[in-house]
Amino acid sequence: MTPAVRFQKVSRHFGAVRAVDGVDLDVASGEFFAMLGPSGSGKTTCLRLIAGFEQPTAGSIEIFGERAEGVPPYRRNVNTVFQDYALFPHLNILDNVAYGLMVKGISKTDRYKEAEKALELVKLPGYGSRKPSQLSGGQRQRVALARALVNKPKVLLLDEPLGALDLKLREQMQEELKSLQRALGITFVFVTHDQGEALSMADRVAVFNNGGIVQQGTPQEIYRRPKTRFVADFVGSSNLLSPDLMASLGGERRWASLRPEAVRVASEGAEAVVENVSFLGAGTRLAVELGSARLHVMLPAGADVPDVGTPIRLSWNSQDIHYMDDAA
Ligand code: ATP
């Protein structure tokens, strides 16, 4: 099937700054795709390249099989939801949502009907006559979403759309966005620096660093089989085991990652000393010293918790040791 978005060796340099550098990317039609990475890694520039607010300095971009270069943003069948929502403060909610249809010359009756439908979709029916200032942050976020959805884009670009919300609301909106995307079947491309958000919502994730994609895959692949130390460290809370430690444990002399929840306290295994115990509700996290390394161990709720300072033994399944591609 033709991908919704295809990047081939796409770069966007600003003078000496390589904001995006040689990115290859396929976003499948109907997919929830997350671009994940630290600040300055090039995610937003990629999104702006898809939207048409930026032009590549090299490479090619296709949207549903058509070359996008030279096609202005409003002709791309793509809409963006920005982090600051960019609502018009002087217009009421209905007019904010209907704005894109007004620009397209749709009649007042029709555009209000569509705007009402979009407000229902984001669970804000009846809020049309309010002004943006009379809504909560979460409600404004929903209006921004309705305003993009009313244009029935084939691709919806979301740039940290939940960044301004508090944790609880953000978690609620993550679930709502995911259900909405599933129900509408629209391709979502979502930018975030929050690994939990990317893993919980996306069908596939691209991890960015320094203007390039370091790994792409399903959340499970990225989490369980990170290719590099950067990915292991950025996604989830991995234990990174040095080549020396791996060799001393009888493994290969290479960097490896081991997830805290894959480590067990056992009667036999590597000797370690408990340095810290943190109760996290759903489980208990131990910080332990293993040789000269400090590891985290995630114990499930109900497990016996050793005291700080006690020697313990650790074991894990060999398939949970995952070697990195990094040169030593
Ligand atoms: P954040 O999460 O902070 O938004 P990001 O991963 O989205 O970061 P980008 O905004 O894409 O990163 O920026 C990538 C790099 O390109 C940064 O170093 C940034 O300073 C630079 N950059 C982006 N836009 C421009 C521009 N118009 N002129 C010069 N440099 C730019």
Tokens in use for 114? Answer: 């569509």
Cite the DSSP H helix spans in 150-289: 167-184, 195-201, 219-224, 229-234, 243-248
Q: Is the CB of 213 under 6 A from ligand 1?
A: no
Distance 270 CA to ligand 1 centre (A): 45
| 222 touches 235 (CB < 8 A) | yes
Atom index in ligand 1 nearest the CA of residue 15 equals 29
Q: Whose CA is nearest to atom 21 of ligand 1?
A: 19
Q: Is the CB of 212 under 6 A from ligand 1?
A: no
Q: What is the pLDDT of residues 148-184, one digit of tens each?
A: 999 889 999 999 888 877 888 888 889 988 998 999 9
81-95, 246-260, 278-292, 305-319: lowest mean pLDDT where? 81-95
Cα 188 to Cα 48, 281, 289, distances in angstroms: 14, 33, 43
Taking the CA of residue 134 as centre, how many other CA atoms within 13 Å lie in the half-sphere pointing to its CB? 10
Q: Is the CB of 44 under 6 A from ligand 1?
A: yes
Confidence at residue 72, expressed as pLDDT on a 0 to 100 scale: 93
Q: Whose CA is nearest to atom 15 of ligand 1?
A: 19
Domain architecture of the chain: domains with CATH: 5-232 (3.40.50.300), 237-323 (2.40.50.140)
Percent of the chain residues topping a pLDDT of 70: 99
237-244 average pLDDT score: 89
**With the C-alpha atoms ordered 54, 59, 62, 66, is the resulting torsion angle positive or negative?**
positive
Atom index in ligand 1 nearest the CA of residue 37 equals 6
Percent of the chain residues topping a pLDDT of 90: 74
Q: What is the pLDDT of residues 10-48, one digit of tens each?
A: 999 999 999 999 999 999 999 999 999 999 999 999 999
**With the C-alpha atoms ordered 115, 119, 120, 122, is the resulting torsion angle positive or negative?**
positive
Tokens in use for 67? Answer: 């070359």
Residue 66 has pLDDT above 60, yes or no: yes
Cα 216 to Cα 33, 55, 67, 204, distances in angstroms: 10, 23, 23, 7
Q: What is the pLDDT of residues 202-224, one digit of tens each?
A: 999 999 999 999 999 999 999 88
Distance 321 CA to ligand 1 centre (A): 35
For residue 320, give every residue at least 6 positions away whose Cβ sits within 8 Å of its Cβ, in sequence order, or none.
258, 259, 262
Q: Whose CA is nearest to atom 10 of ligand 1?
A: 44
Pairwise CA distance, residues 226 & 275, whole Å: 27
Confidence at residue 279, expressed as pLDDT on a 0 to 100 scale: 93
Residue 328 binned pLDDT confidence (cut-offs 50, 70, 90): low
